[in-house]
Amino acid sequence: MICMKSKKIIYIAIFAVAIIFVNIVGSFLFYRWDLTSEKKYSISPQTKNLLRNMDGNLEFTIYLDGELNSGFLRLKKSTEEMLDEFKIYGRKKISYHFEDPSEADSEEKRNENYQKLYEKGYFPIEVNEKDSDGKTIKKIIFPWARIVNGKDTLAVNLLKKVPGKNGYENLNISIESLEFELTDAIRTLTQREIQKIAFLEGHDELPEIYTYDITQTLSKYFQIDRGVLGDDANILNPYKVVIIAAPEKKFTESDKYIIDQYIMNGGRVLWLIDGVKISMDTISAYNMSPALPNDVNLNDQLFRYGVRINSTLIEDAQCMLIPVSQTSSNSESSIDEYQPMSWYFSPLLQPTFAHPISKNLNLVKSDFASSVDFVGANHDIQRSILLTTSNYSRALQAPLNINLDILGTPMEELGLTENNIPIAVALEGKFPSVFKNRMKPQNITSKEEQRAESVPTRMIVVADGDIIRNGIIGTKGNVRPTPLGFDTYTGQVFGNRDFLTNAVLYLADDEGWFSLRNRELKLRMLDKTKVEKNKNNIKLLNVVLPIALLLIFAGVYTWLRKRKYSR
């Protein structure tokens, strides 16, 4: 008996020492094993590297607490899990806490909390829920995070609202986007060096007032310059991205050479080129306007890179509405009434789901767009479509006349039989030079050798310059821009700003961080019809099965003990 007791004590001691040893070793070593198919509890290597090397201490305040429904509780839990991961790799540089804006001693104090957050730009959402008695209860929720780094503060909207998606899908998209949105804010608050981008001028590109909105948005990430090219072939070298926004004058061979060699050396370009010239002012004044090919002397260059902007005009059933005067007359007066009608030449473009630039975006507003084709078979270039027309569209070949008589015409009579015509594309890889086997222009000065093929780089080609154009309101001396993608008639804001911001961030990304927008979590929802049909069986199974398993286990255990000790 003494020998048996001694052995037990030794085993217990060895077990205790092993546990202590494992804990000591575990305090120095770190390893996490994510068994989920989507790796939903893992953060990317880019995020880990960002957190390990960031400067300063970040304090997160999450205004997502209190009485929340199951969907927002899931978003809160996912945010908490993500920040726990950040804390591990951030080496104590990250702290966070949750606050409930609705927690207050009185209704007056609660409204005061709401007002303070609203004034800071933290806009709430109203959620309607039903209590146990079936009564509808309205709740105010602030799905926002505030990030503080020293004197700098940044707000992050945790809730994505993609048109056409239901509440569960939007919450799932929000959870998918958490890592991207939070790291985007961290990068902005902790960046050491500000990259530069440039808007080209000198070819009647859009004036600064018409690109004001996107300039303000991108200024959060970049230093933004504007200017003409000149004769120096290296003038674009300091810029990470160059934006060419709706030029109307022809590019000289010197201009093309500078842009070409900029690309050959790894530069990135966002081309926004109209395929046709047409004037909405002329249409409004004369009820018609000619649509002519827009030749800015870039066709050969873009063709060399593997893309062609066609001299076509897109008609699409999925389009903007414009008010059209309908005069009703009687014996006493004549009254102008306005009726909304489809303006088929302002397509609402569909973002594709497969690319991180266009994933989970709203429709993109365009005016007099053209089509884009891929040309050639260069296997060194990866091609992706970003924006397309709807399933009911067509491309009209210029030159042609556009007449306001098209308003009110049923789409069945227009022959809109084409679908998903590409309007915007992305290209990535090694591009051949348009000046290969050609002499550089005589007036060009360059210290670098002319390259015939590029290093790996990227570009985006959009066959509509108006996508980047914001509207303006007011008169001379009091002109102010409207938000990009805003429709003054319906009051809707379309996805132009998000699309262009994503496009520039993608072009400027060297680390692969932007690919986080492609993260996908499968939404595994119960079949409500089957649940309702079999709810009694499901309840019975959940109540009876655990008890039955427990009784079976107890019976088997008792039988084994009796068998063992009956010997």
Residue 11 lies in a domain: yes
Q: How many separate domains does the chain show? A: 3
Among 139-148, 203-212, 323-332, 542-551, the range with the most confident prediction by mean pLDDT is: 203-212
What value does the CA radius of gyration of the chain take, rounded to a whole number of Å? 31
Among 179-183, 375-379, 528-532, 552-556, the range with the most confident prediction by mean pLDDT is: 179-183
Whole-angstrom distance, CA of residue 466 vs CA of residue 276: 12
Of 361, 491, 499, 367, give the one whose Cα is nearest residue 425.
499
Please state the rounded mean pLDDT for residues 66-86: 88
Indicate if the pLDDT at residue 227 is higher than 70: yes
Helix boundaries (H) for 61-208: 70-90, 107-119, 167-190
Residues 322 and 425 in one domain: yes
Number of CB atoms found within 10 A of residue 370's CB: 26
Confidence of residue 35 (pLDDT cuts 50, 70, 90): low
DSSP assignment string, 94-110: EEEEE--TT--SSHHHH
Confidence of residue 126 (pLDDT cuts 50, 70, 90): confident
At 410-438, the pLDDT tens digits run 878 888 999 999 999 999 999 999 999 88
Confidence of residue 409 (pLDDT cuts 50, 70, 90): confident
Residue 116 lies in a domain: yes
Tokens of 537: 């069986």
Q: 263 with 428: CB under 8 angstroms? A: no
Indicate if the pLDDT at residue 457 is higher than 70: yes
Q: Which residues, in sequence order, are bridge partners of residue 339?
A: 324
Confidence of residue 297 (pLDDT cuts 50, 70, 90): very high
Residue 114 lies in a domain: yes
Tokens of 250: 């022809």
Q: Which pLDDT does position 523 carry in this prediction?
A: 55
Q: 75 with 174: CB under 8 angstroms? A: yes
Least confident piece of the model among 228-232, 327-331, 346-350, 457-461: 327-331
Residues 161 and 208 in one domain: no
Cα–Cα–Cα angle for 501, 143, 113, rounded to 5 degrees: 120
Q: Which pLDDT does position 499 carry in this prediction?
A: 96
Residues 357 and 419 in one domain: yes
Quick one: what percent of the chain has pLDDT higher than 90?
Answer: 44
Q: Which pLDDT does position 42 carry in this prediction?
A: 73
Least confident piece of the model among 126-135, 277-286, 359-368, 464-473: 126-135
Please state the rounded mean pLDDT for residues 278-300: 86
Tokens of 556: 């088997």
Range of the domain at 230: 195-326+335-510
Please state the rounded mean pLDDT for residues 374-402: 92
Indicate if the pLDDT at residue 98 is higher than 90: yes
Residues 177 and 202 in one domain: no
What pTM, to 2 d.p., does this model score? 0.83
Indicate if the pLDDT at residue 77 is higher than 80: yes
Of 187, 195, 188, 191, give the one whose Cα is nearest residue 239.
195
Residue 534 lies in a domain: no
CB within 8 A of 358, min separation 6: which ones? 351, 352, 386, 387, 499, 502
Residues 120 and 233 in one domain: no
Report CA-CA distances (Å) from 486 to 39, 150, 159, 370, 520.
Answer: 37, 35, 21, 21, 29
Amino acid at 62: I
Residues 106 and 252 in one domain: no
Residues 26 and 83 in one domain: no
Residue 549 lies in a domain: no
Indicate if the pLDDT at residue 360 is higher than 70: yes
Of 277, 314, 278, 274, give the one whose Cα is nearest residue 298.
274
Residues 283 and 270 in one domain: yes
Residues 251 and 396 in one domain: yes
Q: Which pLDDT does position 17 carry in this prediction?
A: 83
Of the residues 190, 217, 232, the one at which a domain ends: 190
Indicate if the pLDDT at residue 382 is higher than 90: yes
CATH code, domain carrying 158: 3.40.30.10
CATH code, domain carrying 371: 3.40.50
Of the residues 510, 525, 548, the one at which a domain ends: 510
Tokens of 557: 């255990």
Report CA-CA distances (Å) from 143 to 77, 153, 236, 263.
Answer: 13, 17, 41, 41
Indicate if the pLDDT at residue 331 is higher than 50: no
Residue 522 lies in a domain: no
Q: Is the dihedral of CA 398, 340, 212, 423 positive or negative?
A: negative
Q: Which pLDDT does position 134 carry in this prediction?
A: 60
Give the distance between the most distant pair of CA atoms in the chain.
120
Residue 542 lies in a domain: no
Of the residues 190, 216, 237, the one at which a domain ends: 190
Indicate if the pLDDT at residue 215 is higher than 90: yes
Confidence of residue 170 (pLDDT cuts 50, 70, 90): confident
At 436-446, the pLDDT tens digits run 988 888 888 88
Residues 63 and 179 in one domain: yes
Residues 257 and 366 in one domain: yes
Least confident piece of the model among 214-228, 229-243, 378-392, 515-529: 515-529
Residue 389 lies in a domain: yes
Confidence of residue 11 (pLDDT cuts 50, 70, 90): confident
CB within 8 A of 546, min separation 6: which ones? none
Residues 138 and 284 in one domain: no
Confidence of residue 349 (pLDDT cuts 50, 70, 90): very high
